[in-house]
Structure 1
Amino acid sequence: MTLGEALIRLLEAYGVDTVFGIPGVHTVELYRGLAGSEIRHVTPRHEQGAAFMADGYARASGRPGVAFVITGPGLTNAVTAMAQARADSVPMLVVSGVNATATLGKGLGYLHELPDQRGMMEKVALSSERIANPDELPGALARAFALFASSRPGPVHIEVPIDVMALPADDLAFDVAGTARPTPERALIARAAELIASARSPLILAGGGAKTSNAELKRLAELIDAPVVQTANARGLMHGHKLGVPASPSLKAVRKLMADADVVIAAGTEFGPTDYDMYADGGFVVPPVLIRIDIDDAQLKRRPSTIAIQADCRAALAELCDTLGAASTHDRGGAERARSTREAAFAEIGPAMQAQVRAVEHIRDALPNSLIVGDSTQPVYAANLYYDHDRPGGWFNAATGFGALGFGPPAAIGAAIALPGVPVVCLAGDGGFQFTLPEIAVATDAGARVIFVIWNNRGYREIETSMRDVGVEPVGVSPAPPDFIKLAAAYGIDAERLSSAGELGAALTRAHAKRQPCIIEIAIE
């Protein structure tokens, strides 16, 4: 057995069932064991697509997404998607080749050579390791999967020199050890419970780190009668609940709710500016009495807090509820505070964005319990400001954090491969859709039943608006889009063009009934 074959066996042992990648001459040996394994290989049209698919797969499944890429350009093509995954705490393992050991760092001009490939990756990935001999492989994978399981996740890179891939690895151990998540410190939970019990107007801020804690979050909110504000990556939590506030903390209405709270519990949120200060007006102020819950100790130290609890959100929220007990239940005006904030926040975004939010609601209502995977486009921006999704973790996009255009189509394909029984809609603009347009062919190849909704306003309309707002004559914002209907036909994908977003619900119902990839284009005047 070679190291390449051992790699596949170890990935199987860690529960990996899908790998996204494009083979090349520098990764042939990594593929030696793949054909005979249970792992499915999905071939994108570009390595950036491979990593974006791994990202979407991870967000949908909760398991790490895995990508195989070649030395040099294959890896640099994947860097943008890895940076997006790091910004959004998405577990991703990227395995690449690297040139032969004896040539590294010498600048001899070998194929795909970089001056320092691993040094470059250490700036983007949470960690980057080189496998110098087969004995190092199990430990490198163990460290990667331990990081995914027990701390704030993100992309991890492992590189294998081409002269090491085919070395014998018969004596490797294939035992996989589980890794426990950090548990909340009881003394800190008790102190937090005392603060919360005495609060007159408590508030909960939920971020992406809480998206698997819907039941615990709801229980705590009801117990202490506290509104729950959800950042973009937390949408889907508290759907339709009287205490839910599915609105951006950058809005004045939500900031007022935060300012009026005497105790704020922040669960799994980093207080990033794309959520809390997206207008860059400096209006966000860290709450003076703040209880933070986060799995990452480094993240807790980046903002001042009254009590910092390092733990998995689900475990910490459950312990808080148990410690508080029913004695904490009394009317704190939570439902009224939440209602008035929802109304004020929706009014604040204005008629144009309200119409775009309603377009997103058409998708949600036509396909209940679906995943909506967004790119950076007008209705996604609007819905990040205010939108209540009906599935925890079912609304995600690249319009926050790193903000990579072209994320939507491949990430939606990865999500559909992870959850084949769940409706998946990609919502992208005509500009962003063209960044990764060829990846739609993968939906057909892989049987990923994604419905691609293209918001076609003939250019980068949001950027044009931003230029006009500051008195800059728009330049470079009106690239002519292709005929998406003809392109769909070329890829063998059904498509239809709508003249208004009001037709979207019926079109989605028709597309979903076909049980295959489809494109719906909305022509926006």
Structure 2
Amino acid sequence: MTTPPTTDGRGPLGTDAAPEHGACLTGGEALVRALAAHGVTDAFGIPGTHNLEIYRQLQRRGIRHVTPRHEQGAGYAADAYARLSGRPGVAITTTGPALLNIAAAVGQAYSDSVPLLVVSPGMPLRHPRQSTGLLHEMRSQTDALRAVAAFSHRVSSVDEIGAAVARAFTLFRTGRPRPVHIEIPLDLLETVEPVGAVRLAPPIVPTSADPAAVARAADALHAARRPALVLGGGARAAAAECLALAERLGAPVLTTANGKGVVDEAHPLSLGVSLHSPAVQTWLADRDVILAVGTELAESDLWSPLPSPSGVLIRVDLDPAQMYAGLRADVPLVGDARSVLGALLAERAGTAEAHAPALGSSPAHADVAALRTARDDETRTRDARWLPYLKAMRGVLAEDAVITSDSAQCCYYGALPHLPLSPGGRYLHPTGFGTLGYALPAAIGAKTAAPERQVVALSGDGGLQFSVQELATAAQLGLPLPVVVFDNGGYGEIRDEMAARGDIPTAVDLPAVDLPALARAYGGHGTAVRTPEALADALAAALATPGPTIVTVPEETPR
């Protein structure tokens, strides 16, 4: 059916006030109106037979759209958009296989606490439970998405659509950000019904922790002789407070993958992303007070079972469940990280300043230098192949550059611990769920969020080919996007694990692909380099060239 003219009094671009109670809208228009009212300016997705009414409304409501070549790519792009912009990422799919295609990206967003909104049509409002063979029919989309999202909400009226969107944005603002799914019956998208004014998620005042708990934590930190800070992604908005506490306490700082760069990794107190190091783990277990901010302290960051700290563990997190998940908090501080850390700083401001060490003179700085050396000595043979290339990349990239990462050896062994980052930059990595193919579509999402910043995708040849078709998306956007690929001829990590077990490596060696030629076939550019100096030159050129540029680095893998 055709959509009737809007009756809400808005102009062609939909910039006027919200409609009065009783306006009549289609379900698609009610959805896009609600998204725009919540500040959504960009969306990622692929149109299909069942979601055309959504696409009909996007432009007139001022929402730009990026079309990846696969729904998983749409999910990763929206994920990175959210991480970089601080606003929820929005992805639109059609029914059935399209929604299942994005499920891996939803699982990754759940693992990494990313506010991702996935919107899809569903079977018609009164569709029988007995299978009828309708296009894209499946037994329950909501059941499938509930397995990987915070919730999956199927609406039953046009007016309910606005409430469902407000519910999603309320979750994004009030608790630990997680992905959500809203399903709109496909016939409801075209149905015209009266609706009320736009429902908006309420403004939220950041919460601080219980004052008595803050006082206990401040006492413990003030008395600490061997303190340490562990910072996760939840600490990012409190970067200044984290640095102030570290310097005031003379406390070395570790970060998780998602917390990379919260404190400048060139700072003399920074150990960077080192939780996986046995030497660092032994040192951390001996701290008398550990302040963990916005982190699960998860095995995916430690790459081993959780160590048992011998001292007091203070945990700061929005999510109350984190206080007893994994390592139980001795002093739980539930609240917004910036507010909680601000309260901690204020609690002992008068007495703690006198104890603040001069920068560079604390024994902790010597500890950090020794631990960095011990960490690097543990993996020198394995990691040496990437270090000159990462140093060359760092020399070319701006301070605020964005690096998107993959579940590849060059990323988690190489760039995470060895590519230094400051709070002005970002490193976006698929932690926890550990999906492959994240880097390229994530770079597209990051570049959409911040087209003025340098964005570089870093991947391996195996991971890149999970989403290599997104080169077409990058070429269509025409924005400079280098894609640096360390090519080890297949699935290097699994090959090494098989060899370590004494197995004959099986199904891990992949035929060579001319990735630079493939980039050119998609409308981009490509080159292969064999020295760090050549990588620096190629990266500088790619950052000034519209469209994607694949730069491959053949790896000599140690045996």
Aligned residue among 312, 318, 323 for 1:289:
312
Pairs within 5 Å for 1:133-148:
133-148=157-172
Contact 1:293 1:313 in 2 (8 A): yes
Using the TM superposition, give the Cα deviation of residue 146 of structure 1 relative to its aligned residue in structure 2, in angstroms: 1.1
The superposition leaves residues 483-517 of structure 1 with CA deviations (integer Å, 9 ceiling, x where unpaired) of 11221221111211102344222221122122442
Is the counterpart of residue 178 in structure 1 residue 203 in structure 2? yes
Secondary structure of 2:190 counterpart: coil
Write the distance in 1 (CA, Å) between the matches of 2:479 and 2:343: 40
Secondary structure of 1:35 counterpart: helix
Is the counterpart of residue 335 in structure 1 residue 361 in structure 2? no
Give the match for residue 428 of structure 2.
396
Using the TM superposition, give the Cα deviation of residue 104 of structure 1 relative to its aligned residue in structure 2, in angstroms: 4.8
Write the distance in 2 (CA, Å) between the matches of 1:287 and 1:84: 32
Give the match for residue 264 of structure 1.
290
Give the match for residue 22 of structure 2.
none
Is the counterpart of residue 6 in structure 1 residue 30 in structure 2? yes
Using the TM superposition, give the Cα deviation of residue 338 of structure 1 relative to its aligned residue in structure 2, in angstroms: 1.9
One-letter amino acid of the structure 2 residue matched with residue 371 of structure 1: V
Give the match for residue 359 of structure 1.
389
Pairs within 5 Å for 1:82-101:
82-101=106-125
Secondary structure of 2:386 counterpart: helix
Secondary structure of 2:229 counterpart: strand
Write the distance in 2 (CA, Å) between the matches of 1:215 and 1:234: 13
Contact 1:230 1:246 in 2 (8 A): yes
Is the counterpart of residue 252 in structure 1 residue 252 in structure 2? no
One-letter amino acid of the structure 2 residue matched with residue 339 of structure 1: A
Write the distance in 2 (CA, Å) between the matches of 1:248 and 1:358: 19
Contact 2:299 2:306 in 1 (8 A): no
Aligned residue among 235, 249, 269 for 1:210:
235
Aligned residue among 502, 508, 517 for 1:471:
502
Secondary structure of 2:261 counterpart: strand
Pairs within 5 Å for 1:66-105:
66-105=90-129
Write the distance in 2 (CA, Å) between the matches of 1:213 and 1:344: 29
Gaps of 5+ in 2: 1-24
Is the counterpart of residue 190 in structure 1 residue 204 in structure 2? no
Write the distance in 1 (CA, Å) between the matches of 2:182 and 2:307: 39
Using the TM superposition, give the Cα deviation of residue 392 of structure 1 relative to its aligned residue in structure 2, in angstroms: 5.2
Secondary structure of 2:285 counterpart: helix
Distance 1:292 1:401, change over 3 A: same
Contact 1:430 1:481 in 2 (8 A): no
Write the distance in 2 (CA, Å) between the matches of 1:9 and 1:205: 41
Distance 1:12 1:198, change over 3 A: same
Aligned residue among 450, 457, 467 for 1:426:
457
Give the match for residue 321 of structure 2.
298
Question: Which is further off, 324-333 or 108-117?
Answer: 324-333
Write the distance in 1 (CA, Å) between the matches of 2:110 and 2:306: 26
Q: What's the TM-score, normalizing by structure 1?
A: 0.96
Give the match for residue 21 of structure 1.
45
The superposition leaves residues 28-55 of structure 1 with CA deviations (integer Å, 9 ceiling, x where unpaired) of 1222211312100111111111111111
Using the TM superposition, give the Cα deviation of residue 448 of structure 1 relative to its aligned residue in structure 2, in angstroms: 3.4
Secondary structure of 2:139 counterpart: coil
Distance 1:466 1:498, change over 3 A: same
One-letter amino acid of the structure 2 residue matched with residue 182 of structure 1: T
Using the TM superposition, give the Cα deviation of residue 358 of structure 1 relative to its aligned residue in structure 2, in angstroms: 3.9
Contact 2:481 2:542 in 1 (8 A): no
Gaps of 5+ in 1: none
Using the TM superposition, give the Cα deviation of residue 179 of structure 1 relative to its aligned residue in structure 2, in angstroms: 2.8
Question: Which is further off, 265-274 or 376-385?
Answer: 376-385
One-letter amino acid of the structure 2 residue matched with residue 304 of structure 1: R
Write the distance in 2 (CA, Å) between the matches of 1:213 and 1:415: 21
Using the TM superposition, give the Cα deviation of residue 334 of structure 1 relative to its aligned residue in structure 2, in angstroms: 2.4
Write the distance in 2 (CA, Å) between the matches of 1:441 and 1:420: 18
Give the match for residue 70 of structure 2.
46
Write the distance in 2 (CA, Å) between the matches of 1:393 and 1:150: 26
Write the distance in 1 (CA, Å) between the matches of 2:125 and 2:184: 9
Question: Which is further off, 362-371 or 75-84?
Answer: 362-371
Contact 1:346 1:386 in 2 (8 A): no
Give the match for residue 229 of structure 1.
254
Contact 1:416 1:422 in 2 (8 A): yes
Secondary structure of 2:60 counterpart: coil
Distance 1:17 1:488, change over 3 A: same
Aligned length: 521
Contact 1:349 1:385 in 2 (8 A): no
Contact 1:454 1:521 in 2 (8 A): yes
Write the distance in 1 (CA, Å) between the matches of 2:460 and 2:277: 24
Give the match for residue 244 of structure 2.
219
Write the distance in 1 (CA, Å) between the matches of 2:337 and 2:376: 28
Using the TM superposition, give the Cα deviation of residue 387 of structure 1 relative to its aligned residue in structure 2, in angstroms: 4.1
Secondary structure of 1:204 counterpart: strand
Secondary structure of 2:516 counterpart: helix
Contact 1:246 1:387 in 2 (8 A): no
One-letter amino acid of the structure 1 residue matched with residue 71 of structure 2: E
Distance 1:326 1:351, change over 3 A: farther
Contact 2:229 2:292 in 1 (8 A): yes
Write the distance in 1 (CA, Å) between the matches of 2:179 and 2:382: 37
Secondary structure of 2:189 counterpart: coil
Aligned residue among 439, 448, 453 for 1:408:
439
Write the distance in 2 (CA, Å) between the matches of 1:397 and 1:500: 25
Contact 2:519 2:548 in 1 (8 A): no
Distance 1:286 1:157, change over 3 A: farther
The superposition leaves residues 350-404 of structure 1 with CA deviations (integer Å, 9 ceiling, x where unpaired) of 2331332442332222112211101122210213344421345611222x31111
Secondary structure of 2:338 counterpart: helix
Write the distance in 2 (CA, Å) between the matches of 1:31 and 1:335: 56
Give the match for residue 477 of structure 2.
446
Write the distance in 2 (CA, Å) between the matches of 1:457 and 1:334: 39
Using the TM superposition, give the Cα deviation of residue 256 of structure 1 relative to its aligned residue in structure 2, in angstroms: 2.4
Secondary structure of 1:414 counterpart: helix
Write the distance in 1 (CA, Å) between the matches of 2:425 and 2:544: 24
Using the TM superposition, give the Cα deviation of residue 18 of structure 1 relative to its aligned residue in structure 2, in angstroms: 0.6
Using the TM superposition, give the Cα deviation of residue 250 of structure 1 relative to its aligned residue in structure 2, in angstroms: 2.1
Write the distance in 2 (CA, Å) between the matches of 1:208 and 1:287: 25
